[in-house]
A and B are shown apart, each in its own frame.
Chain A
Amino acid sequence: MSGSRPVDKLFNRRAVVAAGGGGVLFSGLIARLFQLQILDGERYQAIAKENSVRLDLAPPLRGNILDRFGRPLAAHRQAGRISIVREQAGDVAAVLKEVARHIDLSEARQQQIVAETRRQAAFQPVIVRGELSYEDFAKMSLRAPEMPGILVEMAATRSYPRGRDFAHVLGYVAKASQSDLERLSDGTTRDEAKAIRRLFHHPNMRTGRSGLERYAEEWLRGEAGFRKLEANAAGRIIREFDAPELAPKRGRDIHLTVDAELQRVAIDRFGEESGAAVVLDIETGDILAFVSTPAFDPNDFVNGISQADYDLLRFSDRFPLYHKAYDGTYPPGSTFKMVVATAALEAGVINPNERVFCNRRYRFGNNTWHCWKPGGHGSVNMHQAIKGSCDVYFYETARRVGIEKLAETARKFGFGQRWELGLTGGRSGVVPDDAWKRENRGEPWYEGETLNVGIGQGQVSASPLQLAIMSARIAAEGRIITPRIIGNGPRPDADIPLDEPLDGDIMRRMKAGMFGVTSEGGGTAYRSGDLGLGGPRLAGKTGTSQVRRISATERRSGILKGENIDRKLRDHALFVAYAPADDPKYAISVIVEHGEGGSRTAAPIARDIIAAAIRMDSARAPVYTATAAVSGNRPSTGGT
C-alpha cells in the first residue's frame, strides 16, 4: 500500500473496514443462498415438482366475417382435442399406447407423434388428435387424469357456417406451411419474424390461404397473448389465473356487402348447372351476391384436406376450385352488343334509325359471317338489332367503328381491367386491339376479327363481375359505379381502375334496347321479362359464348346442339340484366357454363335471382357503417 501520509493511512484503515463490511454482506448472501438451496432445497424442489405456474402462448381468436345483415359467414366452433407434453408424460410412446386403447390412433401416427415431441421443447404440447367426436372427447376427459402428460381440451376452430356458399369469396384458412410462414414474415424484422413463426406453430393458429381470409389476414388475425396457468405434476391444468392484461386481442370483424340469403337462393337456382352470377346494388356498387358454383367446402380445408378429396375437386369437369365470377373470363357474346352500339354512337358512324338488312349472311373480303337466326332478321334499326340480337347489324356496325374505338369504349365500361375487391384472384379479361395482338400474338390486327368482336366472340373476354358492372352502368345511365364487397373492413389498397362516365342519352337508348329484349315482341328473352311480382319488369340482354368453331360443313348439315353434342363443347349461356326496368335497383350477370342458349337457361336464372333480391329487399340498409369510400385517382362525378 502506498502513501505514508496520515490521510493515506486513514483511507487505508477505512477501506479495510469497508471491504470487511462488504465481505460480511456477501457472506450473508451466500448464507441465504445456502439456506434456500440446501437447507430448504427439498421443500422447494417438492413445490417446483408439484405445481408450476406458467405462461402459455394464447393465440388470438380470428375476426368473424359477416354478411351485410350480420349473418356469420366465417366464425368459430369448439372442437375437442388431445395433446401430449413430453416433459410430463415421461415415456411418450407408452402413454400413446395407453391412449390408443381408448381411441383410434394408428401405430404409424404414434411414432410420428413421438418424433414430433422430440423435435420440440419438452414442455410444448403436441397434438395427438384434433376434431374429437363427442364420445371420444368424453371418454378421454374421463381417462386423462390417469395418463401423465395428456391434455384434453376444447379449442376454437374456424368454421364456415354457410359451407360452400361463400367458398371463393372467403377462401379458407389452414395450418401455416413453410411457404406461408415465409410470406407472412416477408418485410418484417428478424424479431417480428420469430414471433410470427412461434405464433403460427401454435396448434390453434391458422392462416388465410385464399380469398378474403388471405387478403385480410392481418386485419382478421388479432394479437397473441398469454394464459397464466397452474399445472400439477401430471401436467393437468389445475387453475387458470385471471390475467386480463395478458389476454390475446381478438381479430377485427369484417362485414361484407353480400346478402347471404340471396346468395343461397342464387346457388339453389343454379341446381346442377355450373356457372356464376353477380348481383350489384346499382345505387352503391355493393355486391349482393357473388356466386360461383359448384364450389368446395372451406370447412374441409381448415384441418387439412386429404389428397383424394382434393383430387376430386381438382379434376372435376365443373371446376369447383375456380372462382368463375371473378377469375373466370368468357367471350361475352351478344351481351357485348351494347358496348358496340355505344361505341358506334359515340363515334357517330351510325344513325340509330338507319336500317341494316339481315339475310343471315354478311360477306367481308373472301369470307362469310353468319347471323344466329335462321332466315335472318330482315331490315333492322339499332333498337330492333339489340332486341333481336341481330349479328349482321353488329358486324356492319363494328366494321364501321373499327377495333381501336371499340376497345376504347369497352375499357370505359370497365372491361380489360382487374377490379380490386380485396379478395385474392380477379382477372382482367381481354379487350383486344392492334397493340394487344402484336404483343400477344406477334401479328397485326385483321379487320375480319373486328367483326367477331362486334358480336362478343373472338379474342374479347370478360368476367361475370365485369358484365354485371356493365349492366349496372347502363341501368344507371352512365354513372360511374365502383363495385365493392368489403362493407366494413380493410380497404382494398390497389387503385380501383379508372373509368369514365358514359353518355346518358346513349345509355337510355341501350336501356330501351334491353327493355325490348325482355318485354317487346321479337325480344330474345321475351318470356323472362315478367318478374312474377305483379309490377316490376326485368330488362336484359341474352348472350351465347361460343366454345368451339362451327365448320361450314356442320352449318350446312345442321348445327349440333343439346344431347347431340358433348357437354364440354356446348356453348356458354349468358344473360345480363337490371330491374326494376323503370327504376333500376339491381343489376345482374349470369353465366351458365355449357348452358347453350342465353334465353333458354341463363335468363330464367337471372330473372329468379333478381326477383328474389327485390322480394327480400337485399339492398336495404346494412347493419354496419360502411368504410369510408375509397379515395384514389377517380374523377369526381360532379357533385351528385
Chain B
Amino acid sequence: MAGIRARGSNFSRTNIFAQFTGLPWGLILLLCAMAVIGVATLHSATFTNPEEAGLPLKHAERFGAAFAVLIIAALVPLKWWMTLAWPAYIATLTLLVGVEFFGVTGGGAQRWLQVGPVAVQPSEFMKVSLTLALAAYYHRIWNDNSGGLLVHIPALLLIMIPAALIFRQPDFGTTLALFASGGILIFLAGLWWRVISAVVIVAVASVPLVYLVVLEDYQRERVDTYVAQLTGAQVNVMDDGYQIEQAKIAIGSGGWTGKGYMEGTQAQLDYIPEQHTDFILTVLAEEFGFLTTTGVLIMWMVILGLGLVIALRASSLFGRFLAAGAVMTVAFYILFNVAMVLGLLPVVGVPLPFLSYGGTVMITTAASFGLICSVHLGKDELLSIG
C-alpha cells in the first residue's frame, strides 16, 4: 500500500484512480445516507408550505455540490494542503475583515459578503482554515519536549484573532465553535493538565462577567430564557422561550417510534420557527421518535469515530491534527445544535450538518470530511519539514 502513494506530487492518471478507490468509502457512504435522511426530513418539514416547496430538492442539489467539494478536497495531496494552510488562513482572515467593512447584513448580523450572485459567509470558512493553520503550526513547532506553555500562545492567538472578528458581527455560535474546536487541538497538542484546570476554573468564574459585560441584550435574554426553562419556570409564549417550549412539545410528543412520516402535528402546523433550518431535529424526533433519532445521533458518532481513527493512523503530525480538528469542527456543530434543540443550551443558531437546510454548513462539513479523506490517503506520508 505504502508504495502506491509515496509522493503526493506524482499526480498521474493511474495514481488518481488508485487514490479514488483508496478513499474511505464506508465513511463517505454513511455521509450520503445522512444527506438522504436530511432531504426526507426537510420534505416533511416543508411540504405543507408551498413557499418552501423547492427546499428539499435544493438541499439535494447542494449536497451534490458539497459531495464534489468533498471528493476534490480528498484528492488534493496532503502535502499541498500543508502548503495551502497559511495562505488559506490569511485569505479567510482578509475576508473576515472585508465583512467588517463591506459585509451584507442579514438577520440582524453582518455575516455575509456578496460575491457576484453568491453570498459567502467567511466565518464558516474560518472553521476549516483555522484547523489547517493550527495543524500546520503544530506540525512545524512540536517536538518531544513540547509540553512548554509558550508553544501554545501563538496557537491561542491564531484562534483569538478571527474569533474576535466573528464575535463582532455578531455571531456568538461560530465564535464559540472556533474556541471549542481550536481549544481541543491545543488540548491534543499536550497542554499541561494544570493549565487546563486553571483555564476551566477561570472560565467558569468569568461567566457572570461575560454575562454582564460582553453579551448584548438579546443574547442575555436568550441565556435568561434558557435558565428559566431549565429550572422549569413558566415562560411567556411570545418570548424566545416559546420556541424552545414548542420544540420540546414536538420532540416529547414523538415517543418511542414517532407519529409517522409527515404526520407530526406540531411540525405540520408550522409553528416552530426555523424548523427547516436549525430546528430540523424537532421534525425528525416528532415523526420518527426516540429510536430513530438516537439512531441518527449514533450514526453521527460512528462517522466522527471513523474520522478520529483516520487521525490516529496518520503518520504526520499535520495529518493527525488536521483530521482531528476537522472531526472536532463537525462534532461541535452537532453537539451544539442538538443540545440547543433539546433545551440544554441557549438558542445560538447552529445548524445540524446535512440535516438543516443551509448551504454554508453543508460545504463546511463536506470540506472537513474532504480533508479527513485526504489525510486518509496520505496517512503514510511523514511530511518532514525542510
Contacts and interface: CB of A to CB of B under 8 A. Distances in A.
B269 A123 contact: yes
A33 B285 contact: yes
B270 interface: yes
Contact of B317 (A7, A25, A241): A7
Contacts of A29: 297, 335, 338-339, 342, 344
A346 to B, nearest CB: 59
Given A7-B317, A48-B253, A53-B269, A37 B285 contact: yes
Interface residues on chain A, size class: 35 or more
Contacts of A25: 335
A44 interface: yes
Interface stretch (A134-142, A188-196, A401-409, A514-522): A188-196
Contacts, number: 155
A101 interface: no
A36 B293 CA distance: 12
A33 B294 contact: yes
B315 A48 contact: no
Nearest to B144: A6
Contacts of A494: none
A15 B308 contact: yes
Interface stretch (B7-15, B35-43, B182-190): B182-190
B311 A15 contact: yes
A2 interface: yes
Given A10-B190, A36-B248, A44-B251, A2 B379 contact: yes
A36 to B, nearest CB: 5
Interface in B136-160: 142-144, 146
A6 B146 CA distance: 10
A45 B51 contact: no
B53 A194 contact: yes
A52 B254 contact: no
Contacts of B335: 22, 25-26, 29
Contacts of A19: 305, 308
A467 to B, nearest CB: 49
A195 B51 contact: yes
B268 interface: yes
Given A41-B253, A48-B253, A241-B238, A55 B50 contact: no
A603 to B, nearest CB: 58
Nearest to B257: A37
A436 interface: no
Contact of B312 (A15, A33, A38, A190): A15
A34 B248 contact: no
Contacts of B324: 15, 18
A48 B294 contact: no
A12 interface: yes
A198 B270 CA distance: 15
A100 interface: no
Given A32-B344, A34-B290, A198-B50, A52 B248 contact: no
A195 B188 contact: no
A18 B325 CA distance: 11
A121 interface: yes
A44 B146 contact: no
17 contacts: A2-B313, A2-B379, A11-B188, A14-B188, A14-B189, A19-B308, A22-B301, A26-B300, A28-B344, A30-B298, A34-B290, A48-B266, A52-B269, A123-B265, A190-B54, A191-B53, A194-B53
Given A14-B189, A33-B285, 18 more contacts: A2-B315, A2-B379, A7-B142, A11-B188, A14-B188, A18-B328, A23-B301, A33-B342, A38-B256, A40-B252, A44-B249, A48-B252, A48-B266, A123-B48, A123-B265, A123-B269, A191-B51, A194-B53
